[in-house]
Amino acid sequence: MAKQLGRAMLIKIGDGADPETFAFLAGINSKTLTINNAAIDATTADESNPGGQLWAQSLNGLKSVSVSGDGIFIGGTDQEERLNAVAEAADPVANFEVIVPDFGTYAGEFRVTTSGLGGETEGAVTFSLALESTGFVAFLLTGNLLLESGDVILQESGDALLATTSGV
């Protein structure tokens, strides 16, 4: 796989309509996607040698995905207005997609945990964004139908992911 330009990584927000369409958040200069896998400590002493060496043991814990970004604020766009409306809502959740070039798309419902604006005397107005997944986050490998979760199949259709019910 060839090296990719960071600016080609996109964060897109859904418009909340049915069917939902996604548009990228303009002006983001720095983007990060982190997959979190918590571990549950399940360490127990060896019954045959309780005073001996103790090795850590763990079980699978919570899984989540977090996304953050910051950049130059571009006011007056539908996407920025949608992000602001979601951030100010009583339940600040929306569907987002994060596109990693020549790799794939992460898609799911995310909570807007932080949305901030800033400005320096000698600079542009900036904004920052932090998202936390609220449940399952699908991953679609670029160009392929890859993931099936329960009876929901996600497939790529132009610039959007479509969810359909499997007949299987």
Q: Is the pLDDT of residue 148 over 50?
A: no
Q: Find the farthest-apart pair of alpha carbons in the chain and give their distance in angstroms, rounded.
A: 69
What tens digit of pLDDT does each residue of 64-105 get? 999 999 999 887 888 888 999 999 999 999 999 999 998 999
Structural domains of the chain, with CATH: 6-37+59-143 (2.40.10)
pLDDT at 144: 56
Percent of the chain with pLDDT over 90: 55
Q: How far apart are CA 109 and CA 135, in angstroms?
A: 7
> Using CA atoms, how far apart are residues 62 and 77, in angstroms rounded to an integer?
36
- Would the pTM count as exceeding 0.95? no
Residue 113: both structure tokens together: 């945990």
Judged against a pLDDT cut of 50, whether residue 137 lies above it is answered with yes
Please check the confidence at residue 108 and state whether its pLDDT lies above 80: yes
